[in-house]
Amino acid sequence: MTFPRLHMAPKPALRSLYFPTHTSTKCKCSNDNGLQEARRDRRIRKGGIAASLFILSSAISIEGLLINNPSLAFSPLAILSSIFVASRLPVYIPNPPLKLNEDVEIRDSPGRGMGVFSKRRIVEGTYLFDYIGEHLDEAMYLERYPPNTPGASSDYVVDLTNGDPFALDPIFIDGANTNASGLARWINHGADEASRNVRRQHQHWPTRVMRLFAARDIEPGEELMYDYGTRYWEGREDMVR
């Protein structure tokens, strides 16, 4: 089902935390700088992690060999394997996803356009739904949303590799197309802690997804909201939060 969007006010939505916004001309310079900065940070992070792990594991292994302790010598491999496996554990889903018009509804959110509202009490920890959309690699993302291009708005893009130290390249999901996305694209930003009743959790394996859960008990009629993050608002300072 497709829902029309109200045009009485701008409707902010989750976007990638990886790239700054491309929608405002007053951010034209920072857009390109932000893109290059993101790539540079990614290279530095990968190099730093690799170098640190190599130095640490080598030191421990050498120490183990010097004192003739095989367990200590092979402990770095065991630790790294455990960290890798732990980062790949699927996110536990305690219940089926919420249903439109049974559990939640999409309706007008004053000053924000459309929003998602609960139709019943939702207890803390309840799985809500995934952020659904089109999957994009970095090349596809840049082709669809070229930096410093008016109208190339990545408002509904999420970086699925966010927080994954083992990710080599970013993978994005774009919820801009209402026919290819789900309920999560309609969730608005919570301007304060009291209104942020939704938390997000990234799953890196076996599939990369962003799952949404109730951060606290949500009462009937309450709007679902979470924090978009500070980078979303770069160049959007005049928008309703």
Note the pLDDT tens digit of each residue in 81-107.
666 666 668 899 999 999 999 999 999
User: pLDDT per residue over 29-71, tens digit each?
Assistant: 234 445 556 666 766 766 777 777 777 777 777 777 777 777 7
Asked whether 8 and 109 are in contact (CB, 8 A), the reply is no
Return the beta strands (E) in 119-222 as ranges: 127-130, 134-137, 157-159, 171-174, 188-189, 198-203, 209-214
Mean confidence (pLDDT) of the chain = 77
Q: Is the pLDDT of residue 184 over 60?
A: yes
Please give the span between the terminal C-alpha atoms of the chain, in angstroms, as a whole number.
27
In the prediction, which pLDDT does 134 show? 95
pTM for this prediction: 0.69
Residue 28 pLDDT exceeds 70: no
Q: Is 178 exposed, middle or buried (0-12, 13-18, 19+ CB in 10 A)?
A: middle
Strand duo 198-203 + 209-214: pairing: antiparallel
